[in-house]
Structure 1
Amino acid sequence: MTRFDLPAGHSVSTDPARLDRAAVHRWLSEDAYWALGRPREKQDLAIDHSLNFGLYEDASGAQVGYARVVTDHATFAWLCDVFIAPEARGRGLGTALAAAVRDELAALGLRRLLLATRDAHEVYAKVGFAPMSRPEKWMVLGEQ
């Protein structure tokens, strides 16, 4: 699988204490089509019960990206809420963040890592995601 290094001057951390929760909430609730209007309390609860990945500028320490994973740490994970701050886009940070998540989760030996996207298929394809070969096996309860 192709390795994607973070652009120079950036790092990823899974330390939830480093997250700028206000920025994450603002990004998702105001600018992410899948989370528009999400209340802060719901976002904080999601953070508290997930494996979180913050993307930071090393020089300033500012958070410029976020990804969240819902997982049992054994067989399954769902990658969601991937977001790069508008001012940081166009530098390959989204692909590098998705690769960092993939690489971190590889050690768990998961059977499956899923995600849903409306418009970023090419970003995730670069790090190994592909359309489901048998979508007829899957069902959903709730919003589609």
Structure 2
Amino acid sequence: MMAPVQHWHNGEYVVTTDKSQMDIGAIHRYLTRSSWAAGIDYATVARSIENSLNFGLFHQQQQIGFARFITDYATFAYLCDVYVLEECQGKGLGGWLIECCQSHPVVNTLRRLLLFTSTAPWLYQKFGYQPVNKPDYAWTITRPDIYQANRDVQT
């Protein structure tokens, strides 16, 4: 399902869900050095953007941040790959990016939103995210070295 393109403006900053505006190279450069997607290849980033509801944060047409939801557009969405470039942090842009994500007309009708993060829990709590502290409730398979393992197989 395609959701209508949304735009939010905050002074010189813009958040858009327009996939054609996403700078895949910039997103890849950040993600490949991130703690959660280190070594991810360009093709995987491009495929993830193609199959997600994306939020690009721009300053004067330069992408400086990103977030995306993996969603069925009906009941559930998983928020991931959230970042604001280090040199642009401290201006409230991360909070504004999450605010834009949460106010999207599809996202704000979903029954459940999920987020895995070890950074800035205070930010997400402001928007209603709560830790899952129930035994035997949330389960996961995590493969932290998958991008490196895939690279080793391909070479």
TM-score by length of 1: 0.87
The percentage of aligned residue pairs carrying the same residue is: 37
List aligned pairs for 1:1-144, cutoff 5 A.
Answer: 7-30=10-33, 32-57=34-59, 60-104=60-104, 109-143=109-143
> Residues 115, 40 of structure 1: CA spacing in aligned structure 2 closer, same or farther, 3 A cutoff?
same
* 1:71-115 deviation line (CA, Å, top 9, x unaligned): 000000000000101111111111111111011156652110010
- CA RMSD between the two structures: 1.9
What are structure 1's unaligned runs of at least 5 residues?
Answer: none
Q: CA deviation at 1:45?
A: 0.7
Q: CA deviation at 1:143?
A: 2.9
Q: Which is greater in Rg?
A: 2
Structure 1 segments of 4+ aligned residues over 3 angstroms from their partners: 105-108
Matched to 2:100, the amino acid is A
The answer to whether the Cα contact below 8 Å between 1:74 and 1:108 also exists between their aligned partners in 2 is no
What are structure 2's unaligned runs of at least 5 residues?
Answer: 1-7, 145-155
Matched to 2:128, the amino acid is G
TM-score by length of 2: 0.81
